[in-house]
Structure 1
Amino acid sequence: MALSLFRRSRLGAGVGLALLLGWLLTACNNSDDKPAQPTPDPTIKLVTSATLGTFLTDKEGNTLYYFTRDVDGQNVCTGGCAAVWPIFYEADIQVGGGLQAADFKTQMTASGQPQTTYKGWPLYYYAPAANGQNVREAAGQTTGNGVGNIWYVVNPTYSVMVATKAVTDKTTNQTANRSFLIDGKGRTLYFFHKDDLNPNTLPTNCTGSCEALWPPFTAAGRVFPSLLKAADFGTITRTTAGGGPYGDGTASTAQLTYKGKPLYYYTADNLTRGRVEGHGLVSEGDQWLVATP
């Protein structure tokens, strides 16, 4: 009887061990054999050309554009404009290398259509008229860049861009459409007329309280839409730091110039894209004007 109990005990232990081994093998197989989740194909990509640098395309390689008149962040391309520049919309944003999904949003146009935006800029295709019909340009083409000096490819590294909108002159109270320079976030840049009159003292023409009201624009990058030439930009060295919230976040004293004219922000614009409160103002001893390209 003792031998029988011993055999049953050994048999039970063997069964238990077999079950344990089976469970371990199953657990290992379940953890190791799970199929890898496929990486979604990007629906928005970056491509590079020798002439235009890096810019956005859709998943098929069709070029995406920004409209300088959308500087306030809303689509103002309506009527006949909308036929030539169809809106781009992608419900499922998957970005390629070098892009951040958080920079892409969806907003509704005035006609109630969803449109994808990038850093606040509505995105478009180009579809010029051909034989009485609007035909979208082929993948890989960039024929829409520079059209009317108001349409450009979208380069994520633009340090200065171009905007177009109705601007009121604060001296004459007259309003007119103007194209002017903005930073990469859509904030207006200005010229100081005193700099034209005193080109030999540029670093000291606006300092102290003037600099507090009209902070200098500093930018390390040199990437611009095709309307602008890199050779037209330079820097001057200021006697005080020009970084802070209006600059590139550094304590650099290098202020960017365009065609020899220093570029400034205006504090009353409150770091808001598309806002133009300083054009035509007489302040700090002379007049301030939007920086025209």
Structure 2
Amino acid sequence: MTTFLSRRFRLGAGAGFALLFGWLLTACSSSDDKPAQPTPDPTIKLATSATMGSFLTDKAGNTLYYFTRDVDGQNVCTGGCAAVWPIFYEADIQVGDGLQASDFKTQMTASGQPQTTYKGWPLYYYAPAVNGQNVREASGQTTGNGVGNVWYVVNPGYSVMVATKAVTDKTTNQASTKSFLIDGKGRTLYFFHKDDLNPNTLPTNCTGSCEALWPPFTTSGRVFPSLLKASDFGTITRTTAGGGGPYGDGTASTSQLTYKGKPLYYYTADNLTRGRVEGHGLVSEGDQWLVATP
């Protein structure tokens, strides 16, 4: 009897192990055989041009543009402008190499249409009039770049850009439309008239309390819209007390960017806010401050 029970136990245990082993093989096989999910095709990607470097396109290779008048972050291209520059909207953002999905958002235009933005800039196509009809440019074309000196391809690496808006002169209280330089985040850059009068002492024309109020603009980048020439930009080296705060690079020695020989500055009252212009026309630190016009 003992031998019979032992044989039954061994047979039962063997069958159990066989079932368990078969189940494990099946589970592993089904896991390994599961097809990998395909990577979605990018709906926004980068193209490259010898003259403009990298710039945004849609999934079909159609060029996307930014409007310098949208510096405050809102679409101001309406009426006839909207016919020539149709809005770009993509509900399913899938980015290609070199782009970050978090840089793209959706916002509504004044007319209630959704529009995709990139780093706060509304995006557009170009559709010039052809025989009385607005026809979007073909894939791969960039004929909209530079139109009116207010439309440009969107290069993710822009270190300085151009903005256009009504600017109030703080001395005369008169407003006029100006195009001026901004950093890559849309923040206004300024010239100091004292630098024109004393070009041989540029690093010391604005120091101490002046520098605290008008921090120098620093950047390692050299990518600009086509209106701006890289050869017009240079640097001066200045010594900062405390390292430049949130505007600078945190070092005691700062390479301040210059445009056509004029150093570029921020104004603290703009509060690092895109499109804000509180310093134009101010007389401060012994001379006048003006937006940096190209």
Q: Larger deviation: 235-244 or 50-59?
A: 235-244
Counterpart-to-counterpart distance in 2, 1:261 and 1:174? 25
Counterpart-to-counterpart distance in 2, 1:248 and 1:128? 43
Instruction: Render the CA deviation track for 1:52-75: whole Å, top value 9, x for unaligned.
Output: 101100011000000000000000
Counterpart-to-counterpart distance in 2, 1:195 and 1:84? 41
How far the C-alpha of 1:196 sits from its partner, in A, is 0.5
Runs (5+) with no aligned partner, structure 1: none
How far the C-alpha of 1:200 sits from its partner, in A, is 0.6
Counterpart-to-counterpart distance in 1, 2:115 and 2:189? 28
TM-score scaled by length of structure 1: 0.97
Counterpart-to-counterpart distance in 2, 1:145 and 1:157? 16
How far the C-alpha of 1:248 sits from its partner, in A, is 4.6
Q: Give the secondary structure class of the aligned counterpart of 1:245.
A: coil
Q: CA, structure 1 residues 112+48, in 2 after alignment: closer, same or farther (shift >3 Å)? A: same
How far the C-alpha of 1:18 sits from its partner, in A, is 1.3
Contact 1:210 1:284 in 2 (8 A): yes
How far the C-alpha of 1:261 sits from its partner, in A, is 0.4
How far the C-alpha of 1:106 sits from its partner, in A, is 0.3
How far the C-alpha of 1:251 sits from its partner, in A, is 5.1
How far the C-alpha of 1:21 sits from its partner, in A, is 1.0
Instruction: Render the CA deviation track for 1:143-182: whole Å, top value 9, x for unaligned.
Output: 0000000000000110000000000001111100000000
How far the C-alpha of 1:7 sits from its partner, in A, is 3.2
Q: CA, structure 1 residues 74+204, in 2 after alignment: closer, same or farther (shift >3 Å)? A: same
Counterpart-to-counterpart distance in 1, 2:244 and 2:130? 49
Counterpart-to-counterpart distance in 2, 1:247 and 1:161? 18
Counterpart-to-counterpart distance in 2, 1:89 and 1:136? 15
Compute the RMSD of aligned alpha carbons.
1.2
Instruction: Indicate the residue corresponding to 1:82 in structure 2.
Output: 82
Q: Give the secondary structure class of the aligned counterpart of 2:112.
A: coil
Query: How many residues in Structure 1 have an aligned counterpart in Structure 2?
Result: 293
Instruction: Render the CA deviation track for 1:87-138: whole Å, top value 9, x for unaligned.
Output: 0000010001111100000000000000000000000000000011100000
Runs (5+) with no aligned partner, structure 2: none
TM-score scaled by length of structure 2: 0.97
How far the C-alpha of 1:252 sits from its partner, in A, is 4.6
Identity of aligned residues (%): 90
Q: Larger deviation: 250-259 or 206-215?
A: 250-259
How far the C-alpha of 1:33 sits from its partner, in A, is 1.5
Instruction: Render the CA deviation track for 1:22-71: whole Å, top value 9, x for unaligned.
Output: 11111211221221111111111011110110110001100000000000
Instruction: Indicate the residue corresponding to 1:211 in structure 2.
Output: 211
